[in-house]
Structure 1
Amino acid sequence: MNDQQVWFVTGASQGIGLVLVKRLLAEGYKVAATTRKINELKENVGDLPGFLPLEVDLASEQSVTEAISRTVEKFGRLDAVVNNAGFGMLGALEELSLKEIKTEFEVNVFATINVIRQALPQLRRQGSGHIMNVTSIAGWKGDSGASVYNSSKYAIEGLSDALAGELLPLGIKVTAIAPGPFRTNFLGKGSVHYADPAIADYEHIHQHKQWLDENQHGKQLGDPKKAPDIFIKVFNTDQPPVHVLMGSDAVRIVNSQLQRLQDEISAWEAISVSTDFKENRS
């Protein structure tokens, strides 16, 4: 029953994370939600039964361990772990500093790994649980001016794919949920960082930022209020997908990318297979 199932959601103070937390509580689930701005989260959600707001540094093993422990102490178990926290680092690779690149991976990749590692002992004890990692279509298709963001999201898609097989014998499920563009504040202040346009040769990328501001921000097809439908449906499915897309743009873009990859593999197949030892060729 919902009132006995416990969700742990990161990045819950805004966007899809906040909408998901509110929906889960409305449907009777118990929710522990992490944020860097706990007062903002409390104001947005309210003082509701079954709600545990947590101020957590997701890059810190100690902070995440304490958050998982407080969740289990309060609710007695852990059923769903949603790694939603993340941000976008956009701009030409050459224009980004190594510090900025490391920060992107610290938040989008290593924080996700940290949460999963700290949650797994509890999930293994239970012999059940569902890890849902929020990725992006950026984890399926590269985009000019987003190479660092792309690589962080590709990493989580690959991580999820491997973990799904690793944890299945333990009764733990894994799903990577890849949203397309949703009408949140992701492209607004705080969720995306742009490299300083310092190199004139990358003017095509600088112009792309302006195009995003003018044509995407506030005009995305995805409705954040409908996003929780995917999470809850996946959670309540006996054999959930390892990869699921969210939004019609995501389906269109990923299908196109898969076809492009298939065409490329086919075109180079003769060369690709030519490196085998001759006696092993069928």
Structure 2
Amino acid sequence: MAHPKVWLVTGASKGLGLTLVQRLLEQGYCVAATSRNKQELIKAVDTTDHHFLPLQVDLNDEGSIQKALDETVNLFGQIDVLVNNAGYGLVGSLEELSDAEARKNFDINVFGTLNMVRKVMPYLRAQQSGHIINISSIAGFIGAFPGFGIYCATKFAVEGFTEALSAEVKSFGIHATIVSPGYFRTQFLADSSLGVPARPIEAYKSVRETQQFHQQIMNGNQLGDPVKAAQAIIEVAASKNPPLHLFLGSDAYELAYNKINSIKEEIEAWKSVTVSTAFDHQLEQA
């Protein structure tokens, strides 16, 4: 690869972000990777490849982000693909989770991603090219997971503003893609990546069951292979016509179609009410 694309990946010290960075370096790409702890990132990636730039970044500090972008461009000359992967899960009913707990999840999953997008756009507009890939979740398309309401809300937000972003940046030759994985075998469900309420309410039996299922049964038994997910993201970034929505995993595929069909049925069942809300033109004319 004579002129490899330059990738910037956030949340790269573990999980899908780490796997993606490793695959990119194996294939000769230039990779700037961020983490809250630079030494942990260096240890996790474990390479002396000169195409790798480890960066310590606070996603809620625009100055920290700007410094990382400047370092990336100074070393590699440009940024071609931004992958907003940083984020964490949060399980707990809406009543259980405090305002502070909910806002912290939004700060990283939503506002951290927005900060990266805002700061990288001047570079991408100047070069009239680029691709922003925002890692969402099937929980950003389907909210019917008891105990994951706040997490779902953060990912719904990511999907909403990425759809708008796609329309806003199209004229600059820039693409935007939402990646919505199902269950992949990463550390996402481990204690270090899944927040729980400080004050649980035991009356929420379905929430406790969901929490137990994810932490004790699903964790480590996910069907999705993160290496294959990373390769799928690389392939999408190489496409001349990448998708706006990319679902990853057979479980995500099935869940997405189930929701689409459910909405269709509900819309048709209530069509008479839906279309009955226009002004009556005859009464207006009278």
- TM-score between the two structures when normalised by the length of structure 2: 0.95
Change (3 A) 1:204 1:196: farther
Task: Write the distance in 2 (CA, Å) between the matches of 1:279 and 1:81.
Answer: 51
Amino acid of the residue matched to residue 254 of structure 1?
A
Task: Write the distance in 2 (CA, Å) between the matches of 1:200 and 1:106.
Answer: 27
Matches for 1:147-226 after TM superposition, within 5 Å:
147-196=149-198, 198-226=200-228
Question: 1:57 is matched with which residue?
Answer: 58
Question: 2:123 is matched with which residue?
Answer: 122
Deviations 1:196-224 (A, max 9, x none): 45323212211221122332111111011
Amino acid of the residue matched to residue 64 of structure 1?
I
Deviations 1:227-264 (A, max 9, x none): 11211111111111100101111101111111111111
Task: Write the distance in 2 (CA, Å) between the matches of 1:232 and 1:62.
Answer: 29
Q: CA deviation at 1:39?
A: 1.0
Question: 1:5 is matched with which residue?
Answer: 5
Question: 2:262 is matched with which residue?
Answer: 260
Contact (CA 8 Å) 1:11, 1:85: kept in 2 or not?
A: yes
Deviations 1:155-201 (A, max 9, x none): 00111111111100111100000010001111112110011453232
Contact (CA 8 Å) 1:128, 1:172: kept in 2 or not?
A: yes
Q: CA deviation at 1:16?
A: 0.5
Change (3 A) 1:107 1:2: farther
Give the count of matched residue pairs. Answer: 280
Deviations 1:256-281 (A, max 9, x none): 1111111111111110111112339x
3-state DSSP of counterpart to 2:146: coil
Q: CA deviation at 1:105?
A: 0.3
Percentage of pairs with the same residue: 44
Matches for 1:245-256 after TM superposition, within 5 Å:
245-256=247-258
Mark the runs of 5 or more structure 2 residues left unpaired by the alignment: none
Task: Write the distance in 1 (CA, Å) between the matches of 2:226 and 2:2.
Answer: 22
Deviations 1:66-121 (A, max 9, x none): 11111001100110000000001111111111001000000000000000000000
Q: CA deviation at 1:33?
A: 0.1
Question: 1:47 is matched with which residue?
Answer: 48
Task: Write the distance in 1 (CA, Å) between the matches of 2:185 and 2:8.
Answer: 23
Change (3 A) 1:2 1:27: farther
Contact (CA 8 Å) 2:23, 2:231: kept in 1 or not?
A: no
Superposed CA RMSD? 1.3
Contact (CA 8 Å) 1:3, 1:28: kept in 2 or not?
A: no
Contact (CA 8 Å) 2:96, 2:201: kept in 1 or not?
A: yes
- TM-score between the two structures when normalised by the length of structure 1: 0.96
Contact (CA 8 Å) 1:59, 1:106: kept in 2 or not?
A: yes
Question: 1:19 is matched with which residue?
Answer: 19
Task: Write the distance in 1 (CA, Å) between the matches of 2:171 and 2:3.
Answer: 27
Change (3 A) 1:2 1:191: farther
Contact (CA 8 Å) 1:197, 1:206: kept in 2 or not?
A: no
Mark the runs of 5 or more structure 1 residues left unpaired by the alignment: none
Contact (CA 8 Å) 1:2, 1:27: kept in 2 or not?
A: no
